[in-house]
Amino acid sequence: MDKKDEIQIGRRSFLKVTAGASVAFGLGRPENSFAATDRQLSTLIDLSLCDGCVDRKVPACVGACKEINKDKIPPITEPIPEPWPRKTIEDWSKKREVFNRLTPYNFIYVHKAETGGDGQKKTIFVPRRCMHCDNPACATICPFSANHKNQNGAVVIDQNLCFGGAKCRDVCPWEIPQRQSGVGIYLKILPGFMGNGVMYKCDLCIERLAANKLPGCVESCPREALLIGTRKAIEKIAESRAGRMNGFIYGKTQNGGTSTLYVSPVSFEEINRSMTKKPGQPDMKMDVQRRMAGTDPLAKAVLAAPVLGIIAAGVAGAWNRFSQRKEKAGKEGQDHG
């Protein structure tokens, strides 16, 4: 496979692959929009090609993602209820234009790493977003079953079910999901006592995939530094590029394996050493074990998950029925008034 062939997977061939899949696997069926294809997809981020879009105010991939997801978060209810017992409100609604870290309004950002610990100075730009792990602890731990790994590899949070407790962020080794308080179902149930908003993160553009479109970041990258394809094809390309550049791969084993592979001419140990680590700016450590293993207290929380989910569903259902009855009674009152 030469380089020209590989790159086509990013654009034309992907559409061909998915068009075929739509017949074979039901791609784009409206009733099944979360299953873009039964075939597992992966993405590749080639750090030898990404130049950080330094000539633009906002990197193209970040801009495209922002545009696609601009209406994802509904208007905030203010004042935002203060959660009990911890009083942490996370409100990014006045900072929507922040693009140099992950926020509930920004699902991808580009981290600049000035490498050179080995004597060879090099600037590496690292687009960061959810890795779409193979066995995501963020989905396993969700007490409300709001977070799922889809057949096509995408890990997706259902915003209608999320209470914003942020357990998914606690167990994510890169702390990817970001919370916006003052939105979501918790406001209708016991605001202040249960929940604190909604968690947001990259969903691999699952709706675009279902419509045979490329994820926004992949489509918009002027240097074709991002590719998407079947898992096998992406693994092959990553291996071949790493071999050609005498480089390194990240994402294959971290957190038990992910659907996102990075390939880089500089080692990830060196990249990780060079990265500033702040909230919303995840590191790239090599040894990433899946959290919640064994006796981890978080693992115990998982046992409570189905019970909490059932309780929450029950409470939400009761609330909806109550609201409908109230609305009906109000209408009848008006009719007779």
- Name the site residues for ligand SF4 (rule: CB under 6 A): 50-53, 59-61, 64-65, 68, 107-108, 110, 125, 127, 129-133, 136-138, 155, 172, 174, 176-177, 201-205, 215-217, 221, 223, 225-226, 255
CB nearer to ligand SF4: give 199 or 316: 199
- Cβ 54 to ligand SF4 shortest distance, Å: 8
Per residue, what are the HEC states of the chain?
Answer: CCHHHHHHCCCHHHHHHHHHHHHHHCCCCHHHCCCCCCCCEEEEEECCCCCCCCCCCCCHHHHHHHHHCCCCCCCCCCCCCCCCCCCCCCCCCCCCCCCCCCECCECCEEEEEEECCCCCCEEEEEEECCCCECCCHHHHHCCCCCEEECCCCCEEECCCCCCCCCHHHHHCCCCCCEEECCCCHHHHCCCCCCCCCEEECCCCCHHHHHCCCCCHHHHHCCCCCEEEEEHHHHHHHHHHHHHHCCCEEECCCHHHCECEEEEECCCHHHHHHHCCCECCECCCCCCCCCCCCCCCHHHHHHHHHHHHHHHHHHHHHHHHHHHHHHHHHHHHHHHHC
CB nearer to ligand SF4: give 72 or 273: 72
CB nearer to ligand SF4: give 83 or 127: 127
- Cβ 119 to ligand SF4 shortest distance, Å: 26
Report the C-alpha gap between 16 and 279 in whole angstroms. Answer: 39
CB nearer to ligand SF4: give 129 or 167: 129
- Cβ 337 to ligand SF4 shortest distance, Å: 49
Report the C-alpha gap between 180 and 124 in whole angstroms. Answer: 30
CB nearer to ligand SF4: give 68 or 233: 68
Report the C-alpha gap between 181 and 129 in whole angstroms. Answer: 21
- Cβ 259 to ligand SF4 shortest distance, Å: 8
Backbone φ and ψ for 330, nearest 5 degrees, come out as -60, -45
CB nearer to ligand SF4: give 110 or 242: 110
CB nearer to ligand SF4: give 153 or 182: 153
- Cβ 110 to ligand SF4 shortest distance, Å: 5
- Cβ 104 to ligand SF4 shortest distance, Å: 12
- Cβ 64 to ligand SF4 shortest distance, Å: 6
- Cβ 8 to ligand SF4 shortest distance, Å: 17
CB nearer to ligand SF4: give 127 or 197: 127
